[in-house]
Amino acid sequence: MNVLVTGGAGYIGSHTCKALHRAGHLPVTYDNLSSGHAHAVKWGPLVVGDIADTTLLAATLGAHDCQAIIHFAAHAYVGESVGDPLKYYANNVAGTIGMIEAARIAGVKRIVFSSTCAVFGIPGLALIDEHAERRPINPYGRSKLMVETILEDCWSAYGIASMALRYFNAAGADPDGELGEEHDPETHLIPLVLQSALDPARSISVFGTDYPTPDGTCIRDYVHVSDLADAHVLALDAIDRAPGFSACNLGTGRGVSISEVVAAASRLTNRKINVRHAPRRPGDPPELVADPSRAQTELGWSARRSDLDTILSDAWAWFKSQGADAKT
Asked if 167 is an active-site residue, the reply is: no
Tell me the C-alpha distance between 44 and 46, whole Å. Answer: 7
Is residue 261 within 8 A of residue 190, CB to CB? The reply is yes
- Strands (E) across 74-188 are located at 110-116, 161-167, 169-171
CA-nearest of 11, 136, 111, 2 to 51 is 111
The answer to whether residues 29 and 17 touch, using CB atoms and an 8 Å cutoff, is yes
| Torsions phi, psi for 319 (to 5 deg) | -60, -45
Distance between CA atoms of residues 317 and 191, nearest Å: 12
From the candidates 140, 167, 211, 222, give the one annotated as an active-site residue. Answer: 140
DSSP assignment string, 165-213: EEESEEE---TTSS-----SS---HHHHHHHHHH-TT-EEEEE-S-SSS
Catalytic positions: 140
